[in-house]
Amino acid sequence: MKSITQFASLILIGNTLIILALVVFGFWMIHTPDAMPSWFAIAASISGSLGFGYQLGRIVGRKENELANFKGLR
């Protein structure tokens, strides 16, 4: 049960960091539009989201493997 709680808190922290980064990028683009092109901000947000999803998938896959090994399915 403890690992499920830690996993849920990890998801919450990751989502909060992504949203915070998007808000900061948005305010920076509004106040200094010549600082960097908008496509770069979009690409950065997409790559950050994909990186987080990849790490999350690795964690979920590892937990599923541990559970399957524990139950003797593999």
Instruction: State the total domains in the chain.
Output: 1
Other Cβ atoms closer than 10 A to 58 = 10
**Six-digit token pair at 52?**
């987080």
- Note the pLDDT of residue 9: 74
Domain that holds residue 26: 2-71
Contacts of residue 2, defined as CB under 8 A and 6 or more positions apart, other chains included, come to none
> What amino acid is encoded at 66 in this protein?
E
pTM confidence score: 0.40
Q: What is the pLDDT of residues 4-49, one digit of tens each?
A: 667 777 777 877 788 788 778 777 777 776 656 666 777 777 777 7
Give me the mean pLDDT over the 38-64 stretch.
73
How much is the pLDDT for 4? 66
